[in-house]
Structure 1
């Protein structure tokens, strides 16, 4: 089992004769423990083309110190990384759990040693008045070498937060810099040894329609990759966010076909739907489980319920199936295709037009589709099917507007807000219908009178809420304004 830890730290380069300054008097620091010295030896793993390093991800097996074992570090924001750990295990064999968490980047390519680092570390702990650790300050003498390369040596000061806050991190950094150190040349020791830096995608200027669309697509691809390991770990809301990014990609390829050539992207939309469906199986069960748990609390039923346990079992099984899907060559091929799409988008002639003129036309087109879909509800033989289609049109209009917000500003935001209102009303109704179907099926299997009664109560609550939500649709629609570009 991999153990997760959020690492928040800053690194500073120092000369050989640098003296770590006095650290008492920093925010919240009442005492200092140490120093303690450790001998650390770490082997870093990556693909031949250093895919992990270029994404700012590090995977190592380290001996020595108080946290010997395998460490996987994934960027989580400025100065922070999610660190997952596993026992030392076998020398050359990456623990299966950690290997799965980098699969979206390695995509079947072998992972092997790429660098060796040896560090003499002197550590002091900054403590508060109660003796709790606020931060760890490490003075590292490092020597490292890439596989088959020359050795590089340097000195580094590292400040890592434990229970302290950002003010302590800032103050410690200021004091260390004032003493003669400087901001670290690299955010990672192994990146320094390998001579690479994390890839930074240039910000699109947004002046042309093609640049605006490509920038949005790149953001969504980044989101898929960012939430992939979180979804594998079943972190809260991760599957939902990964599914949203997948749907946004698919929607953009449809709504902006005038800019991105559909002949090249229609096959990609098929694969994105496949991925969204796989994520959707988990997400739908997750939503039902959370929904029913809240409902039971509302009516004071906090005990055990066989049917809810069965739902949890179904959700766990769906997560296992998702993890299998995320190991498939088909998924890796989709990620390769998305990378290629962003790197060399198949732009049409209209992509070269000014974004400020082209995007309003395409956003308005999606709004008109929503308008037509809404009007069909009153004419449809099956209003529920028409409502479902209207909800899908609302999502497309919303996502199309979201893409245009960086270029068009407030008018696009207003379209997005309006579409979201329709989506939420119809989504609330649809969620109630799905919940009722599940409750009805559970009631048919119930062999306990109390359980059957509880299911009946929940069924009634869901029906009332669904009807109440649907009753607001017409009023909601009347309150919306047309796009004003």
Structure 2
């Protein structure tokens, strides 16, 4: 983190360089947009690093440390932030020398319930220089570190390195500074972090290596990708980032659909328990997401009504109702994410990625197995469409639509696995499926809001809530008509033929 600023979550973009021995920093004035160089300032930094016994965090390019000696004393968690940096998260120091609950939560998706222990202590004698623009703005910091690392087995390592971190400059500046440093004798470090260097080289990340182009390899590549996405959204939800609950829920849907659609390749005895637990967590997220959508939709609806129809006390009552729901569901979400069950879910996901429950069909060429999975999901789609068409307006039709929505999502996510091979027809079908999902999703949200208005009306708000109910009911009727047109476009016989040939 820049040493002239207070601790805050931010994306860190930096590069590290090893030094051949005694090193004189070249004058960087005039390099790219650098007009002046401040410093030097000296800091003494002490950091305790924590990880699991099998170094799960380090293998995932994630670090957790407790650091003293700078302006950012506290607990730091660093996670990858593609394409060029790492997200650095800061939490208060506190009294304990052990990672507190809030910090453990930020890495819970990686540790999966495994205990954390101190794996290294690193002392850095740091000399800091600030590169500034002509206006005095900070562009980057250049840190010369004399490092001493101690690990639990008693070993001690000493080395010297340079770190250059952007504070306002561009990647072009970083490239220009690198050119000047390497010309002076520095070399780009092969180590991604001090901790990695301290603990050694034998820590290559486990890589899925199916050896051949197989159906199993294609499916598991997508599963592993989705698990990584979900880990990122887990951190974002804990940080209350906008739209993170929705994104986490969508990622879970994708993951569950891929596991279900490819049962010819992945043994359901190994994947069904994981799907069930993902469904549990998706439902917890779903309550929070429904609250987000409902607040936005009802607020917009109320704002479009005459003030003499929806008076201030009605608006206040609606706000209280929504706030009560939000507090209750947010509390349930936080409890779920801190639960043992959530840790066990992550352990199961990591196990599926590390040890896929292959069937004998996993070794077959991908084209045939992916085509069969698509054909099976298309048959499910037609069955769900037929069931919906047979229902009269009422609760049974609502249930049939819900099942069709789920079937459409599963088909869409199945097509996504085949997307690199299926090309343009797959893109076209996905667009149709997404359009249907959008219409059906809005209809579902309006129906949930209708139920809330029906349940919440009291004597004082009966008229206003009744008026809003009528407006929503009319909108729902219009949505059904539009949805019928979108549903018919799912037939898509030419697209199906091209996908399955």
Give the structure-2-normalised TM-score: 0.88
Which range moved further: 303-312 or 351-360?
Answer: 303-312
Shift of residue 200, structure 1, vs aligned partner? 5.2
The partner residue of 2:278 within 272, 282, 287 is: 272
Shift of residue 259, structure 1, vs aligned partner? 1.6
Q: Is the counterpart of residue 212 in structure 1 residue 223 in structure 2? A: no
Partner of 2:66: 61
Partner of 2:29: 24
| Structure 2 unmatched runs, 5+ | 1-6
Give distance in 2, aligned partners of 1:446 and 1:173: 72
The partner residue of 1:234 within 229, 240, 247 is: 240
Which range moved further: 182-191 or 475-484?
Answer: 475-484
- CA RMSD in angstroms comes to 2.6
Matched residue count: 480
- Aligned residue runs from structure 1 range 1-16, under 5 A: 3-16=8-21
- Encode CA deviations 1:264-323: one digit per residue, 9 max, x unaligned: 322322222112112212121122123334445556989873422431342233222212
Which range moved further: 108-117 or 185-194?
Answer: 108-117
SS of residue matched to 1:264:
helix
- Aligned residue runs from structure 1 range 19-418, under 5 A: 19-90=24-95, 92-196=97-201, 197=203, 199=205, 201-202=207-208, 207-296=213-302, 305-381=316-392, 382-418=396-432
Any conservation in 1 of the 2:113–2:347 contact (CA below 8 Å)? no
The partner residue of 1:419 within 433, 457, 463 is: 433
The partner residue of 2:444 within 430, 438, 443 is: 430
Distance 1:180 1:422, change over 3 A: same
Distance 1:34 1:241, change over 3 A: same
Any conservation in 2 of the 1:203–1:215 contact (CA below 8 Å)? no
Distance 1:176 1:295, change over 3 A: farther
Any conservation in 2 of the 1:11–1:156 contact (CA below 8 Å)? yes
Shift of residue 401, structure 1, vs aligned partner? 0.6
Give distance in 2, aligned partners of 1:319 and 1:27: 48
Shift of residue 74, structure 1, vs aligned partner? 1.7
Any conservation in 1 of the 2:124–2:148 contact (CA below 8 Å)? yes
Which range moved further: 461-470 or 206-215?
Answer: 461-470
SS of residue matched to 1:305:
helix
Any conservation in 1 of the 2:290–2:445 contact (CA below 8 Å)? no
Distance 1:468 1:391, change over 3 A: same
Shift of residue 251, structure 1, vs aligned partner? 1.5
Any conservation in 1 of the 2:216–2:362 contact (CA below 8 Å)? yes
- Encode CA deviations 1:77-125: one digit per residue, 9 max, x unaligned: 2332222223333352223211221222233333222111111111111
Which range moved further: 302-311 or 121-130?
Answer: 302-311
Distance 1:300 1:342, change over 3 A: farther
Partner of 1:466: 476
Give distance in 1, aligned partners of 2:98 and 2:245: 28
Distance 1:87 1:383, change over 3 A: closer
Shift of residue 190, structure 1, vs aligned partner? 0.9
Which range moved further: 344-353 or 286-295?
Answer: 286-295
Distance 1:173 1:319, change over 3 A: farther
- Encode CA deviations 1:185-242: one digit per residue, 9 max, x unaligned: 2221111101154625347678221111111111122222222122122211222222
Any conservation in 1 of the 2:37–2:131 contact (CA below 8 Å)? yes
Give distance in 1, aligned partners of 2:151 and 2:378: 55
Give distance in 1, aligned partners of 2:467 and 2:187: 65
Give distance in 2, aligned partners of 1:199 and 1:295: 51
| Structure 1 unmatched runs, 5+ | none
SS of residue matched to 1:437:
helix
Give distance in 2, aligned partners of 1:43 and 1:460: 61
Any conservation in 2 of the 1:72–1:85 contact (CA below 8 Å)? yes
Any conservation in 2 of the 1:72–1:83 contact (CA below 8 Å)? yes
Which range moved further: 105-114 or 366-375?
Answer: 105-114
Give distance in 1, aligned partners of 2:346 and 2:180: 44
- Encode CA deviations 1:133-156: one digit per residue, 9 max, x unaligned: 222121112121211232222222
Give distance in 1, aligned partners of 2:111 and 2:356: 23
Q: Is the counterpart of residue 476 in structure 1 residue 486 in structure 2? A: yes
